[in-house]
Copies of this chain bind each other. A is one copy, B any other.
Amino acid sequence: MILPPHLTVEGGHLLIGGQDTVDLAQRFGTPLYVMDEDRIRENFQRLESALTAHYPNVRILYAAKANGNLAVFRILASLGAGADVFSAGEVALAHAAGMRPESLLFNGSSKSPADLALALEKGVRVSVDSLDELRQLDAAAAEAGKTVEIAFRVNPAIDAPTHPKIATGLATSKFGIPAGQILEAYGAALAAEHVNPVGIHCHIGSQILAVEPFAREVEVLVRLASDLIDIGVVPSFIDIGGGLGIPYRRETDRAPTPEDYAGAVMPVFLKGISDLGIEPELWVEPGRWLVGDSAILLTRVNSVKTAHKTFANVDAGFNLLIRPAMYDAYHEVVAANKAGVPPVQEYSVAGPICETGDILARDRMLPELKAGDLIAVLDTGAYGFAMSSQYNSRPRCAEVLVAGGRAAVMRRAETIDDLTATTLTPPWQE
Contact = CB atoms under 8 A, between A and B. Distances in A.
Interface of A: 63-65, 68-71, 74-75, 86-90, 92-93, 96, 107-113, 129-133, 136, 155, 164-168, 170-178, 181, 205-206, 300, 302-305, 307-309, 311, 313-315, 317, 322, 325-326, 348, 350-359, 371, 386-396, 401, 403-404, 406, 408-414, 416, 418-429
A401 B426 contact: yes
Nearest to A116: B302
Given A87-B392, A429-B74, A311 B109 contact: yes
A171 B308 contact: yes
A425 B136 contact: no
Contacts of A173: 356
A245 B90 CA distance: 38
Contacts of A87: 352, 392-394
A350 B416 contact: no
A355 B89 contact: no
A308 B175 CA distance: 11
Contacts of A422: 396, 411-414, 418
B110 A314 contact: yes
A352 B131 contact: no
Nearest to A206: B355
B133 A303 contact: yes
A65 B393 contact: yes
Nearest to A417: B92
